[in-house]
A and B are shown apart, each in its own frame.
Chain A
Amino acid sequence: AQSVTQPDIHITVSEGASLELRCNYSYGATPYLFWYVQSPGQGLQLLLKYFSGDTLVQGIKGFEAEFKRSQSSFNLRKPSVHWSDAAEYFCAVSTGGFKTIFGAGTRLFVKA
């Protein structure tokens, strides 16, 4: 069965520091991969998605993610974190159908 693992329940970074959130998936073929952000009081918002082609994808708010097939990973990165980036981040996978499977999330705390 398909699954998504986000190993870090929470991460704290200093404002201005770089960020990497980890995501590993389990699926036999090339999946469709997503990162979403959920802020308090806000709905889930798509940051970026990967389907094929260039394995480094750019998203909104300065985020990027890299698909590494050999590691079954799709880690999210940002070179310089802003206080407004504090939120819950979800990695998700879709296997070609309509069902999207989400990871348990990583909560990002940003310290001044």
Chain B
Amino acid sequence: GAGVSQTPSNKVTEKGKYVELRCDPISGHTALYWYRQSLGQGPEFLIYFQGTGAADDSGLPNDRFFAVRPEGSVSTLKIQRTERGDSAVYLCASSSLAGGPTDTQYFGPGTRLTVL
């Protein structure tokens, strides 16, 4: 089937604006992850969902960042009052089982966010 998809592929916004980034996981995958990858760095964990609930949101940098997964499939990462430092590639991944570390995470192509 189809892999993880993310929309939009690119997003340019102005400082202070609100943005939403969408992730469509592989069908049937119960676990969903968001990561942020800044230029020249590895992905940085943001949040993990098991079903509809956020099981671990310890990676969200501050309260401007929020993510939801209301029906246990599609997830939206929301960023309020964007700052230039939020510019990065935001990656989504999903996995099929209980979401433990033994599960293979399948990554989407990412959304490149640029805050001017």
Binding site for B on A (CB under 8 A): 4, 32, 41-46, 49, 51, 90, 92, 94-105
Contacts and interface: CB of A to CB of B under 8 A. Distances in A.
Given A99-B56, A101-B45, A43 B101 contact: no
User: On chain B, which size bracket covers the interface?
Assistant: 20 to 34
A104 B40 contact: yes
B25 interface: no
In terms of DSSP, what is the predominant structure of the interface of chain B? loop
B48 A98 contact: yes
A99 B43 contact: no
Contacts of B100: 96, 98
Interface in B24-74: 31, 33, 35, 40-45, 48, 50, 55-56, 58-59
Interface stretch (B14-22, B78-86, B105-113): B105-113
Contacts of B109: 41-43
B42 A92 contact: yes
Tell me the dominant secondary structure on chain A's binding face: loop
B3 interface: yes
Contacts of B93: 44
Contact of B101 (A41, A44, A98): A98
Contact of A43 (B31, B58, B108): B108
A102 B42 contact: yes
B43 A32 contact: no
Contacts of B31: 98
A104 B43 contact: no
Given A98-B48, A99-B48, A99-B59, A43 B42 contact: no
Given A32-B101, A44-B91, A98-B48, A104 B108 contact: no
Given A41-B109, A43-B110, A45-B107, A98 B42 contact: no
